[in-house]
A and B are shown apart, each in its own frame.
Chain A
Amino acid sequence: MRRTLAEKILQQFCEEEIQGPGQIIQAGVSGVLANDITAPLAIKSFEAMGAESVFDPNRIFLVCDHFTPNKDIASAEQVKTVRQFARKMGITHYYEGGDCGVEHALLPEAGLIGPGDIIVGADSHTCTYGGIGSFATGLGSTDIAAAMVLGRTWFKVPETIRIDLEGSLQEHCGGKDVILWLISRLGVDGALYKALEFSGPGLDRLSVEARLTVANMAIEAGAKVGLFPCDQMTLNYLQAAGRTGDRELWPDPEAAYPERISIDLDRLPPQVACPHLPENVRPAEELREIPLDQVVIGSCTNGRISDLRAAAAILKGRKAAQGLRLIVLPATPRVYAQALHEGLLETFMQAGAIIGPPTCGPCLGGHMGILASGERCLATTNRNFKGRMGSLESEVYLSGPSVAAASAVTGRITDPNKL
């Protein structure tokens, strides 16, 4: 056989024989996700469909993470709608409050996603789970409602761009630098309708959390999925998340890729995306004159424990610059507890950081760190569209946690190697 990872996974869930890219198929799904913004719309469509039950109450994930703890009455009403629906349908994986974290960090950590799964979510960053070998992609609320009812959906079989990772990551670099570089290379529509598939000798040098960061931003190049194989490292991660029975998953050795890009990790310096598109990427060092008002470390892209460790390693014994707001949002309660246990939170506090609860918060301009006009923020989040974090006249730069931490110290965009 000569199937790409995407084709291999899709074939497991569909009856027709997959011939290749472009084919439209009907496939079953392993899990369906929605959040406090998109679930209410999905529930509305669900009701309009005349549905009375979901296909499987154990395979629907409802995570109220965007505006929680509820920031105002409207968001509280939305969460109430989701909560009532979850109760009525007997949905087991409903999260709000103390066990809730940013959806794309929470579900893999809880062992709810596995390699070879098909996951659809009413959130464009559902593609994060490609980091552990899951064909995971974002859909609109009505598609999600249909998947909740039928347990199936349709896909166009994507063409695959193969990304070969060579060498190993340099000091202070991580998954974010890899994906920012790749987006700058592909452009924001360079992978439209396509799958990205990562492999190559450098794969061993990318931790599972780094792979989740890479896959998270596949959508920022327009991709449908960003897929990593499931290797021994993934299996260890999944086992620690409480899963059993997973197996390695690789593309067929003869699989055909119309396009291949290789990344030399040895020569990749820390990267930063400039306003207002994730493709406007430059090495952090070239932006050292840019002053900042705020630094945010968190989100589904870079709010995991390895990200907080990287930031703390730089902030230890240092202080955030005068007048700069440093906001740290651990992505999940488990990450929060671990950071507490390791003393990272103390390091952040001593550096003058504000430590917030696990929430999307400022990433989508929701709450907990909104920008005024003329303000500039460097964030470890994934989108820097105009107005994304507040005023239409504010600016967002994107980076990994090490650049964010170093920049918080100097008050300007800073390559941590030059700190």
Chain B
Amino acid sequence: MFFQGKAHKLGAHIDTDAIIPAKYLVSTEKEVLGRSCMAGIQEDWVQRISPGDIIVADKNFGCGSSREHAPLAILGAGIPVVIAHSFARIFYRNGFNMGLVLLEIGDDVHQIDQDDHLKIDALKGLITDQSKDLTLSTAPLPEFMRDILSKGGLVNYVRERLAA
């Protein structure tokens, strides 16, 4: 799974209310939610995103509630990958389950700057910062999670299992 796009930096402890405030939870459609992605930070945050862009955040990304609307809103905004220092664990699972690629890279996250152009090989866990000629590596995804991602998320994964 290969991705490339521009980095959008975010800080630490970005909570699920920042990613998608409760007042927008009246839909479960990712396109609708995507229009309000990060509205808890700034109402029109999503305007600066082009499809394929990548979020690069600090510690504990996605902390707070177990709402799946959060990864859906990010995908709905056209963002396929989030790179972070670390993720809150319920968000981490929800991300994979919804088909959002999450890469945890610790302090290396500080080497990436706003608007850097990134190239990602998710299966190998390689991130190339083309603006800097820098390659960062993270642990490759466990096989089971690769399986879920390659099927497009947990719903399809279980559906296939049930059909087998």
Contact = CB atoms under 8 A, between A and B. Distances in A.
A51 B163 CA distance: 10
A50 B159 contact: yes
B13 A142 contact: no
Interface stretch (B47-55, B91-99, B115-123, B124-132): B91-99
A387 interface: yes
Interface string A389-411: 00000000000000000000000
Residue from the set A139, A142, A387 with the largest chain B CB neighbour count within 10 Å: A142
B136 interface: no
Given A124-B65, A387-B17, A146 B154 contact: yes
Nearest to B145: A24
A142 B68 contact: yes
Contacts of A193: 89
Contacts of A192: 60, 86, 88-89
Contacts of A140: 66-68, 90, 93-94, 97
B161 A150 contact: yes
A372 interface: no
B86 A48 contact: no
Given A48-B159, A50-B163, A193-B89, A142 B63 contact: no
B153 to A, nearest CB: 8
Interface in B1-46: 13, 15, 17, 22, 26, 28
Given A51-B158, A140-B68, A143-B94, A189 B89 contact: no
Contacts of B28: 41, 44
A385 B17 contact: yes
B155 A24 contact: no
Nearest to A25: B144
Nearest to B95: A140
Contacts of B159: 48-50
Contact of B154 (A26, A143, A387): A143
A154 interface: yes
A179 to B, nearest CB: 17
B35 to A, nearest CB: 19
Q: How large is the interface on B (under 10, 10 to 19, 20 to 34, 35 or more residues)?
A: 20 to 34
B161 to A, nearest CB: 7
B88 A38 contact: no
A45 interface: yes
Given A142-B98, A192-B89, A149 B66 contact: no
A193 B60 CA distance: 10
Interface string A145-169: 1100110001000000000000000
16 contacts: A45-B154, A45-B155, A49-B155, A49-B162, A50-B162, A124-B64, A139-B93, A140-B97, A141-B68, A143-B93, A188-B13, A189-B60, A192-B60, A365-B22, A385-B15, A387-B17
Interface of B: 13, 15, 17, 22, 26, 28, 59-60, 63-68, 86, 88-90, 93-94, 97-98, 142, 144-145, 153-155, 157-159, 161-163
Interface of A: 24, 26, 38, 41, 44-45, 48-51, 74, 122-124, 138-143, 145-146, 149-150, 154, 188-189, 192-193, 222, 224, 365, 385-387
